Amino acid sequence: MSDLSSKYVLQTAGFDARFPNTNQTRHCFQNYTDYFKCIAAKGEEFAPCKQFKRAYNSLCPNEWIAKWDEQRENGTFPASLEP
């Protein structure tokens, strides 16, 4: 067990004052859209963009992410991802 704990560090998204309530649905969606806006503006290797990705992967159900990825590919995503 100690081998695993030293190998992996589990983290969740930190507190965001914009989303003070316990329901994190909007926080999840905002981080998803912020990530794609960030990489559109700065590129995938820009380190601060990765924080948005870690946050939405932590907060959002995998089914939502898969659905949103599909919607982006099909051009039917309900929000603008332009920077």
CATH topology of domain 24-74: Arc Repressor Mutant, subunit A (1.10.10)
10-residue stretch averages of pLDDT, the chain, 83 residues long = 61 69 83 96 92 93 96 94 87
Query: 58, 60, 80: which is closest to 9 by C-alpha?
Result: 58
Question: Domain limits of the chain?
Answer: 24-74
- pLDDT at residue number 25: 87
pLDDT at position 17: 73
Question: Does the predicted TM-score (pTM) go above 0.85?
Answer: no
13 close to 27: Cβ distance less than 8 angstroms = yes
